[in-house]
Structure 1
Amino acid sequence: MKFLIIYIVLFLGIFSDENPRENPSETTKLTIQIDNIAVLDGTIKIGVFNTDIDFLEENATIRDYSLTVTSATEIFVIDDLPKGEYAISMYHDENSDGVLNRNFFGIPKEPYGFSNNVKPKLSAPDYKDCKFSFAKNDTLKIRLIH
């Protein structure tokens, strides 16, 4: 009889969709350290992308965040992002007008940055250059470009 109970428990455990090693109540956090903030005013707008389709296009983000600037280095924690592959873009909206101001040639006049600290040369970076894997608590350091 003991063996029958053990077999039943093992049989049910095989078909259970729960993973005993994962605790669903635990959240995975992505901490972003933003450096090289020159103007202690305005907000930093952060966009999270999960595909190269429409990367950096307006309304193509899967998450958007905003952070009020108070120091030369800011820390922002994202705790609602599932594990996966992502790319981050951000800009410092120094004048709080809600847009990344650009000059006549389309070059940003306000500081900006990307995951992996990609520095664009003659055009915007590609998703593949900015992407990173997020599977556990992690910290990204992004240095704003002026």
Structure 2
Amino acid sequence: MKILVSILVLAILSITSTLTAQDKTITVTISNINSDEGKVGFALYNKDNFMRTPIESKEGVIKNGKTTIIFGNVKPGSYAVTCYHDKNSNGKMDFSANRMPLEDYGASNNVIAFAPPTFEGAKFTVIDKNVSLEIKF
């Protein structure tokens, strides 16, 4: 009987750890876009690659000033998301001659500063649940 109970407990623990260790999703929504022109570029980063080559990038279609994308198969860890309104659909964020952004942008945690976002300011953690973010431009 003790062996049967031990096997049952191990089976439950194994199933539980498998369920919590599955890859998660990060859903990102922007609902204050000032124009349906162009698209929104999204990038998912970890600390090691922040503001360089993203883990994954996506483009969101804008409808009625809103767009939503989903990053799938995300492993547990710390991440940050940045995004920008590519109003002219040229595939890059445009800057003025003095390096000020000409297109709206945002980052996870909605940190507003007169400087590019930092990983520490924008980071969030994926553990055992899917994550939903609302980013504001």
Alpha-carbon deviation of 1:26?
Answer: 6.2
Alpha-carbon deviation of 1:78?
Answer: 2.2
Partner in structure 2 of residue 45 of structure 1? 41
Of the structure 1 ranges 21-30 and 124-133, higher mean CA displacement relative to structure 2 is found in 21-30
TM-score scaled to structure 1, two decimals?
A: 0.78
Of the structure 1 ranges 108-117 and 22-31, higher mean CA displacement relative to structure 2 is found in 22-31
TM-score scaled to structure 2, two decimals?
A: 0.82
Cα pair distance change 1:9/1:41, threshold 3 Å: same
Query: Which structure is higher in helix share?
Result: 2
Q: Distance in 2 between matches of 1:24 and 1:125?
A: 31
Give the alignment partner of residue 76 of structure 2, picking from 56, 77, 83.
83
Give the alignment partner of residue 94 of structure 1, picking from 81, 84, 87.
87
Alpha-carbon deviation of 1:74?
Answer: 1.8
Q: Which runs of 5+ in 2 are unaligned?
A: none
Partner in structure 2 of residue 140 of structure 1? 133
Letter in 2 for 1:130: A
Give the alignment partner of residue 100 of structure 2, picking from 101, 107, 115.
107
1:70 aligns with 2:66: no
SS of 2:73's equivalent?
A: coil
Partner in structure 1 of residue 32 of structure 2? 36
Q: Distance in 2 between matches of 1:47 and 1:83?
A: 17
**Root-mean-square deviation over aligned CA pairs:** 2.6
Structure number with greater Rg is: 1
1:125 aligns with 2:107: no
Q: Percent identity?
A: 26
Q: Which runs of 5+ in 1 are unaligned?
A: none
Q: Distance in 2 between matches of 1:69 and 1:115?
A: 19
Q: Count matched residues.
A: 134
